[in-house]
Amino acid sequence: MSSSSDLGSKVPLKQIPGDCGLPFLGAIIDRHNYFYHQGRDKFFSAKIQKHQSTVFRTNMPPGPFISSNPRVVALLDALSFPILFDTSKVEKRDILDGTFMPSTAFTGGYRVCAYLDPSEHKHALIKRFFLNLLASQHHKFIPLFRNCLSELFAELENYTSDKAKADFNTASDAMSLNFVFLLLCDKYPQDTKMGSNGHKLFDKWLVLQLAPIATLGLPKIFNCLEDVLIRTLKWPAWIVKSDYEKLYDSFWASAGALLDEAERFGLKRDEACHNLIFMVGFNAYGGMKNQFPALMKWVGLAGEGLHKQLAYEIRTVVKTEGGVTFGALDKMTLTKSVVYEVLRIEPVVPYQYAKAKEDLVIHSHDAAFEIKKGEIIFGYQPFATKDPLVFENPNEFVGHRFVREGEKLLKYVLWANGPETEEPTPDNKQCAGRNLVLLMCRLMLVELFLRYDTFTVDATNTFFGASVTVKSLTKATTF
């Protein structure tokens, strides 16, 4: 096992290998390999093999005509990756989705927080507003999320007993939006203009923004058609204009107290509302949409042995602590480790991008490389968090990996856009919901193993993340 400081300083300076091929053609070839011929992981591992380096130049989708410059320096190991978090050296302006940015017409004409660089005054203003907002709702986190989980598991139980299977993703999506909206606005989304389809309105809005970097995984015969349809021009926001208006009206009418508070922070009321919608719909709901299925997939597939250990730990701690409290959750070392392991093995936001603010030298395990001011740096996180020189058996799901001594490895867990040992602040770009996400994932396991001894799932991997079917839930026999 190696640390960045041991290796970083002693390695030779090399030229970054790889070229991006001919203009236009190189980008098209790379994107076809990436989406259709090789697939994401093979695309990157083939380039690592070819260049014998975890740092190289490549094109990243979408390319022509949506992004004017698809050329990036790719970082695919645990040592070089963290440069993406150093906002004194890299710029995060308009680069959330990669080498292109969706039209601001999706967000009321505003560049919302996630597209702002910390050097822009407004970033700290909005992020501080969000962090304060979440802190002020802290007391609601456990009881409210447990209520939402009760409804979720009741629904899954109904389906598994009636039909011997339950679609986890659909039930989890509705639950996730209910939770965030109840947390912030104190009412169910269905009691607003968005009605019972709020999560579907958000889905449409998300898909249109992210279409250029996605694929539906259709049969090969449709590949070229799909590529031309979603990667030639950006899809316009007017397609979802009326959906977005419903979302906007719902937040405007229900989040009055929050918008008052935003005005006290110095934000305009409508700008705060668009930012709130983006945080709830893109950051929070968009994240939870993939995070909870990933959790159920890995824990479900780990099998009965791990389930027994989790049930034992959770039930014992809840009994001795007298309930499900922040203190009790903190004592559940295996449960915490299992959540970190899911976040490590399948970080659900797999890409991070930034632009070099100055000439930089970055280090991989075996070489140092110079990056010029203005170059785009790209990290594929699943490779950084499965770096075999940092993690033993990196492709294996090891539930107790982060227990005791294993905690030292937490600095290499990066899912929240920063090392797990650091906190989100108004001055960095780390996920504002980081601590809430950790809490929700732990609570999901707690609720699961207070109710059930074990469960089984079928899981498939789509481009958008895990798709999970719950096949059985075996009621708890003790406690």
Cα–Cα nearest to 243, from 201, 211, 281:
201
DSSP string, 168-208: HHHHHHHHHHHHHHHHHHSS-GGGSTTGGGHHHHHHHHHHH
Question: In this structure, which amino acid lies at residue 243?
Answer: D
Among 73, 114, 156, 444, binds ligand HEM (CB under 6 A): 114
Between 28 and 185, CB nearer to ligand HEM: 185
The piece of 72-80, 215-223, 364-372, 427-435 that touches ligand HEM (CB under 6 A) is 427-435
Tally Cβ neighbours within 10 Å of residue 401.
Answer: 22
Residue 177 sits in the site that holds ligand HEM (CB under 6 A): no
Q: Is 436 among the residues that bind ligand HEM (CB under 6 A)?
A: yes
Residue closer to ligand HEM, measured from CB, 55 or 444: 444
Nearer to ligand HEM, 169 or 352 (CB): 352
Cα angle, residue 125 at apex, residues 430 and 142 outer, rounded to 5°: 55
Interaction between residue 206 and ligand HEM (CB under 6 A): no
Residue 379 as a binder of ligand HEM (CB under 6 A): the answer is no
Residue 125 is a binding residue for ligand HEM (CB under 6 A): no
Q: Tell me if 378 contacts ligand HEM by CB under 6 A.
A: no
For ligand HEM, give the closer residue by CB, 107 or 283.
283
Q: Which of 31, 57, 127, 344 binds ligand HEM (CB under 6 A)?
A: 127
Within residues 55-94, the interface with ligand HEM by CB under 6 A covers 92
Cα separation, 16 vs 196, in Å, equals: 51
Residue with tokens 């909005």: 126
Write out the H or E segment, with its range, that includes residue 356.
strand 351-356
According to the binding rule CB under 6 A, does residue 296 interact with ligand HEM? no
Name the burial class of residue 156, with classes exposed (0-12), middle (13-18) and buried (19+) by CB atoms within 10 angstroms of its CB: buried
Interface segment toward ligand HEM; rule CB under 6 A; list 53-61, 163-171, 278-286, 311-319: 278-286
- 108 phi-psi bin (left φ>0, alpha ψ -120 to 50, beta other): left
How near is the Cβ of 50 to ligand HEM at its closest, in Å?
A: 27
- Residue 300 or residue 465: which is nearer to ligand HEM going by CB? 465
**Cα 346 to Cα 294: distance, rounded to the nearest angstrom:** 7
Binder of ligand HEM out of 4, 160, 352, 454 (CB under 6 A): 352
Cα three-residue angle 105-227-167, rounded to 5 degrees? 80
For residues 94 to 113, the per-residue mask of contacts with ligand HEM, x marking binding by CB under 6 A and - elsewhere, is: --x----------------x
Residue 361 three-state SS: strand
Binding mask 128-157 for ligand HEM (x = CB under 6 A): --x---------------------------
Alpha helices in 55-137 (DSSP H): 121-136
Q: What Å distances lie between residue 147 and 181, 196, 211, 444, 457, CA to CA?
A: 14, 18, 34, 11, 23
Q: Is there a cis peptide before residue 65, judged by omega within 30 degrees of 0? A: yes
Q: Is 349 in the site for ligand HEM (CB under 6 A)?
A: yes
Q: Quick one: 38 or 137, whose CB is closer to ligand HEM?
A: 137
Tell whether residue 194 is a contact of ligand HEM (CB under 6 A): no
CB 376, CB 99: distance < 8 Å = yes
Does the protein bind ligand HEM through residue 175 (CB under 6 A)? no
Binding mask 224-263 for ligand HEM (x = CB under 6 A): ----------------------------------------
Q: Which stretch binds ligand HEM (CB under 6 A): 139-147, 256-264, 346-354, 452-460?
A: 346-354
Which range of residues in 47-55, 286-294, 396-404, 466-474 is near ligand HEM by CB under 6 A? 286-294
Backbone torsion region of residue 143, taken as left when φ is above 0, otherwise alpha when ψ lies between -120 and 50, otherwise beta = alpha
Residues 385-424 close enough to bind ligand HEM by CB under 6 A: 415-417
Write the binding mask 437 to 466 for ligand HEM: x where contact by CB under 6 A, - elsewhere.
Answer: x-----------------------------
Strand pairing of 71-75 and 376-380?
parallel
d(CA 340, CA 24): 40
Specify whether the CB–CB gap between 118 and 124 falls below 8 A.
Answer: yes
Dmax (CA) of the chain = 65
CA–CA distance, 442 with 419 (Å, rounded to integer) = 19
- Nearer to ligand HEM (CB atom), residue 189 or residue 287: 287
Selected from 4, 283, 337, 364, the binder of ligand HEM by CB under 6 A is 283
- Residue 120 or residue 151: which is nearer to ligand HEM going by CB? 120
User: Residue numbers of the site for ligand HEM (CB under 6 A)?
Assistant: 92, 96, 113-114, 127, 130, 279, 283-284, 287-288, 291, 348-349, 352, 415-417, 429, 431-433, 436-437
